[in-house]
Each structure stands twice: as C-alpha cells, then as structure tokens.
Structure 1
Amino acid sequence: MKNVDYIIVGDGYAALFFAHQLLLNNKSFVVFSEGKKSASQISAGIINPVVLKKFTTFWLAQEQIDFLKTSLKEIESYTGENYLIDSPIHRIFHDENEQKLWLKKSGNEELKNFLDEKFDHLNGVKNDFQTGKVNQSARLNVSGFFNGLLSYLESKGNLVKEKFDYSKIDVSNSEYKDFSFKNILFCEGMGGKENPFFSDIAVIPNKGHHIRVKLSDAIPEDITIKKKHFLFPLNDNLYFYGGTYDREQMHHEIDSSAVEQLQKGLSEFYPGDFEIKEVHFGFRPTVKDRRPIVGRHSQHSNFYVFNGLGARGILNGCYFSKTLFEYIENNIPLPQEISIDRF
C-alpha cells in the first residue's frame, strides 16, 4: 500500500494546476489520467480578461491574469518550457458603434488596463472599422502544456494512466486499490456526471467545435484575431478557428451545422480560400452563474470537487487551485461565489 496526501482524478486544467500547487508545497500525490483528450486538451488556450461581445470584464480578472503569469513561470522552472504565447487579441469591429462603445468602456476603471485606446488596421483580413487590441491577453501553448506537464508527472511517478474505478474506493479507510490517501479530489469536467459522490453538481455541458484550416494567404503571425470566433496560427502551416457554443446537440459526433457556422464566420473576414483539415469538438463543463464549483463532500470530509471551469478554464483552473489548496490544508474558507454550498 502506498501512502499519498492526494489522489487527483482527471487530467484537465483543474487537475494539473492543482497538481502544481501540490508540487510547490511538497505534497505526495498521484493523478489518474484516462488518456482521452479532455475539453481542456482541445481548447483554444485563449487568455482573455475581456468579454468580447459586450466589452465587459469579469470577477477577479486582473488577479487571475497576474496569478497565471506567476504560475507559468513556476511551472517553467521544472518542465524547462515556457507555455505562454505573447499573442494579443485583436477584436475586429463590426461598425462605428462598436468602436465608440470600446472607446467609452476603455475609460472605465475596471477596463482601462485591458482595452487599448489606439485602433489598428490589420493586413490580410477585412477590417473596415479597424480592430481593438486587448492588453494583457495571450495564449497558452495547449499541447505543449499538457504534454510537458503530464510527461513531467510521469517521470516523477505521479501519473497513473488508467480509468478511475469508483467502485474500488474503500471510503471508510480512505483507500483506493494500492493507495491509501489523505484527500481525494475529483476534477473530471463532464465526466463528473458519472461520479457517484458528486453526480448532482450543477454543471451543464456546452459543446464546442473548432476547425483547423489551411489558409491560401498567411495573416499576421503574432496576434489572435477575433470577430465571431478566434483565429490564430498553429504549427504545420495550419490555423485554429473556433470555438462554437451549443447547449442543444449533445451527441458525441461532429455537427455539420457547427462546421458551417465556422466556415461562414471565417469567410466574413478572411478574403482568401481556406481548406478545412481537421474538425474537433469537446464538452465544456459550464455553470449557470459562470463560476467554478469547488468544495467538500457533505458526508465524506476528505472528498473534494473542482469542476465547472467553463470557457475560462485556464484562468479559473489556475487561480482557484490555490484557493482550494488553502481551504483543504489551512482551513481558509472558500469564497461563497465558488463554493459548492451555494446551490
């Protein structure tokens, strides 16, 4: 029997950022990874402090951005890689009214550090009303982050590559197969719906598609372009374009309507030809009030959940991993906004 401080079930942003907290604090742990591509692992990796439909921001945006930058530097110290891509978002304006609204909002106290007052004109795409730059926005190298961290955890003996079997938990003795644990944390995204301990958590699946396309003409390399969806360069001369939001079509297949929506959206501002090379989709675990669900099981005091990160998985996963760690280890109360008890 191997004693560990934590078992983490899941391998998305919530799981890996929490594992990072455990590494920082010299805790022993194992991460159970089934090896399927989670919604986190096919996500765009956009780091964005602004809601680009209405030009508003959200709770703790600046604190989350700052904390992410610190955490990624810490992660670089042991994986040897920097996963932050300095690729600011340029939002294409639909009309003059959007320009005016952006300028007006850029004077707001909570938005002035994010909305650049100077507009740009981009080459290679249609932007008759110019673009607004989101300061402090960036991207995460998603495949690099997951490959790098999971490889590091495997090299340290912290990774168990198998599907977690709930029926094998000995609740009264805090044991699972060959492990005895102090705490167990479930970070399973939509997979959490099958978890008998937390099956009733209020996460709602939101299906997102993105396409990988080959463009006939290159566009500026160091930026992320946003109109309806995000466009940015990947390796192999491909570009990422996505993602859609759908709460209706819940089957595990590609939706042709979503692909059409993406084709149409890209054609609106990209004048050249493009060829779709790949289509991907995943199910984001979203919550009605757009806040994560974090907390302790009502009956089992060493069972915890970290879920519902939604479309802001990177920022939510990183920032609230420390909040959860402080709650478990130091009894620092969770903010009511994210506590599982709020439902």
Structure 2
Amino acid sequence: MKNIDYIIVGDGYAALFFAHQLILNNKSFVVFSEQKKSASQISAGIINPVVLKKFTTFWKAQEQINFLKKSLKEIETYTGESYFIDSPIYRIFHDENEQKLWLKKSENEELKYFLDKNFDHLNIVKNDFLTGKVNQSARLDVKGFFSGILSFLEANGNLVKEKLIYSEIDTSSSTYKDFHFKNILFCEGMGVKENPFFSHIEVNPNKGHHIRVKLSESIPQNITIKKKHFLFPLENGLHFYGGTYDREQIHHEIDDSAVDQLQKGLSEFYPYDFDIKETHFGFRPTVKDRRPIIGRHPKYRNLFVFNGLGARGILNGCYFSKSLFDYIENNIPLHEEISIDRFHKKDA
C-alpha cells in the first residue's frame, strides 16, 4: 500500500494547476488521466482580461493575470519550457459606435489597464473601423502545456494512465486499490455527471467548436485577431479559428451549423480563400453564476471537487487552485462566491 497525500482525478486545467500547487508544497500525489482529449486540451488557450462583446472585465481579472504569469514561470523551472505566448488580442470593431464605447470604457478604473486607447489598422484582414488592442492579453501554448506537464508527471511517477473506478474508493479506510490517500480531488469537467459523490453539482455543458484552417494569404503572426471568434497561428502552418458556444446541441458529434457559423464568421473579415483542415469540439463545464464550484463533500470530508471553470479555464484553474490548496491544507475559508456551500445554502 502506497501512502500519498492526494489523488487527483482528471487532467485538464483544474487538475494540472492544482498539481502544480502540490509540487510547490512538496506533497505526494498521483493524477489519474484517461488519456482522452479534454475540453481543456482542445481549448484556444486565450488569456484575456476583457469580455470582448461588451468591453467589460470580470471578477479578479488583474489578480488572475498576475498569478498566472507567476505560476507559468514556476512551472517553467521544472518542465524547462515556457508556455506563455506574447500574442495580444486585436478586436476588430464592427462600427464607429464600438470605437466610441471602447474609448469610453477605457476611462473606467477597472478597464484602463486593459483597453488600449490607440487604435490600429491590420494588414490583409478587413477592419474598416480599425481594431482595439487588449493590453495584458496573451495565449497559452496549450499543446505544449499539457504535453510538458503530463510528461513531467509521468517521469516522476505521478501519472496513472487509467480511469478511476468510483466503486473501488473505500471511504472508510481512505484507500483506492494500492493507494492510501489523505484526500481525493475530482477535476473532471462534464465527467462529474458520472461521479456518484458529486453528480449533483450544478454544472451544464456548453459545446464549443473550432476549426483549423489553411489560409491562402498570410496574416500577422504575432497577434490574435478577434471579431466574432479568435484567429491565431498554430505551429504547423494552420490557423485556429473559434470557438462557438452552444448549450442546446450537446450530442457527441460535429454540428454542421457550428462549422457553417465559423466559416461565415471568418469570411467576414478574411476576404481570401481558406481550407478547413480539421474540426474539433469539446464541452465546457459552466455554472449559472459564472463562478467555479470548489469545495468539500458534505459527508466524506476528504473528498473535494474543483469544477465549473467555463470559458476561462486557464485563469480560473490557475488562480483558484491556490484558494483550494489553502482551504484544504491551511483551513483558510473559500470565498463564498466560489464555494460549493453556496448551493447548499439554497437547499436549506
């Protein structure tokens, strides 16, 4: 029987950023990975402090950006790789009203460090009303991040490449097969619906598609372009364009309507030929109040959940992994806006 501090179930952003907290604090752990492509692993990797539909920001945006940069530097010390891509977002304005709204919002105390007041004109793409640059925006090298960290975990004996069987968890003795654990953390995204301990939590699937395209005319390579969706270069001569949001069509197949939406969206500002080479989709775990769900099982006190990261999986996963670690290890209460207890209060 092997004694460990943590079993982590899942291998998306929540799981790996929490694993990072354990590495920093010299905790023993294993990560159970089914070796499937999670929603995290096919995500765009956009690091963005601004809601680009209405030009607003969100709770703790600056703190999350700062903490992510610090965490990625720490991760670089043991994987030997940097996954931070300095590729700022340029939002194409639809009309003059959007320009004026952007400038007005840039005076806002919360937004003045994010919304650049100097507009730009981009080559190749259609941007008749210019573009606004989102300061402090960037991208994560998603493929490199997952490959690098999972390889590190495997090399150090922290990775178990199999599905965890819930029925084999013995809660009375805190054992699972050959492991004696102090805590189990479930970071399963929409897979939580199959979890008998946390299937009740209020996460809903939001299906997102993206396409990978071959462009006939090259665009600036060091930026991310956004109109309806995001366009940026990948390492193999393709470009990523996406992703869509769909709460209705949640079957496990490609939706032609989503692909059509993406094709039309790209054609709006890219006036040249392009070929769709790949189509991908995943299911983001979302919550009505747009806050993660983090906390302890009401009966089994060493079972925990970290879920509901939504479309901001990188920022939420990174920042709130520290909150969860401090909650478990140091008895520091979770903020009521992210705690699973906010749902229990409703039931009371």
TM-score in terms of structure 2 length: 0.98
Matched with 1:41 is 41
Residue 235 of structure 1, CA deviation = 1.3
Identity over aligned pairs, percent: 83
Give the Cα separation in 2 of the matches to 1:51 and 1:219. 24
Residue 75 of structure 1, CA deviation = 0.1
Q: Deviations over 1:94-126 (max 9, x none)?
A: 000000000000000000000000000000100
Q: Deviations over 1:212-268 (max 9, x none)?
A: 000000000000000000000001110000000000001100000000000000000
Give the Cα separation in 2 of the matches to 1:61 and 1:251. 33
State the AA in 2 paired with 1:110.
Answer: E
State the AA in 1 paired with 2:284.
Answer: R
Matched with 2:346 is none
Residue 162 of structure 1, CA deviation = 0.2
Matched with 2:71 is 71
Give the Cα separation in 2 of the matches to 1:50 and 1:118. 17
Q: Secondary structure at the match of 2:22?
A: helix
Q: Secondary structure at the match of 2:211?
A: strand
Q: Secondary structure at the match of 1:305?
A: strand
Q: Secondary structure at the match of 2:232?
A: strand
TM-score in terms of structure 1 length: 1.00
Matched with 1:155 is 155
Matched with 1:207 is 207
User: What is the root-mean-square deviation of aligned Cα atoms in Å?
Assistant: 0.3
Q: Deviations over 1:176-209 (max 9, x none)?
A: 0000000000000000010000000000100000
Q: Secondary structure at the match of 2:199?
A: coil
Q: Secondary structure at the match of 2:173?
A: coil
State the AA in 1 paired with 2:270.
Answer: Y
Matched with 1:144 is 144
Residue 289 of structure 1, CA deviation = 0.7
For structure 1, the residue ranges without an aligned partner over 5 or more in a row are none
Matched with 1:238 is 238
State the AA in 1 paired with 2:47.
Answer: I
Q: Secondary structure at the match of 1:55?
A: coil
Matched with 1:315 is 315
Listed as ranges, the matches of 1:67-146 within 5 Å are 67-146=67-146
Residue 342 of structure 1, CA deviation = 0.6
Matched with 2:228 is 228
Is residue 52 from structure 1 mapped to residue 59 from structure 2 by the alignment?
Answer: no
Matched with 1:30 is 30
Give the Cα separation in 2 of the matches to 1:250 and 1:55. 29
Q: Deviations over 1:43-70 (max 9, x none)?
A: 0000000000000000000000000000
State the AA in 2 paired with 1:133.
Answer: K
State the AA in 1 paired with 2:187.
Answer: C
Residue 133 of structure 1, CA deviation = 0.2
Give the Cα separation in 2 of the matches to 1:287 and 1:218. 38
Matched with 1:324 is 324
Residue 293 of structure 1, CA deviation = 0.2
State the AA in 2 paired with 1:19.
Answer: A
Matched with 1:333 is 333
Listed as ranges, the matches of 1:178-217 within 5 Å are 178-217=178-217
Give the Cα separation in 2 of the matches to 1:335 and 1:111. 23
For structure 2, the residue ranges without an aligned partner over 5 or more in a row are 344-348
State the AA in 1 paired with 2:237.
Answer: N
Residue 79 of structure 1, CA deviation = 0.2
Q: Secondary structure at the match of 2:262?
A: helix
Matched with 1:277 is 277
Q: Secondary structure at the match of 1:118?
A: coil
State the AA in 2 paired with 1:103.
Answer: L
Give the Cα separation in 2 of the matches to 1:180 and 1:130. 59
Q: Deviations over 1:133-186 (max 9, x none)?
A: 000000000000000000000000000000110010011000000000000000
Matched with 1:167 is 167
Q: Secondary structure at the match of 2:197?
A: coil
State the AA in 1 paired with 2:223.
Answer: I
State the AA in 2 paired with 1:298.
Answer: P
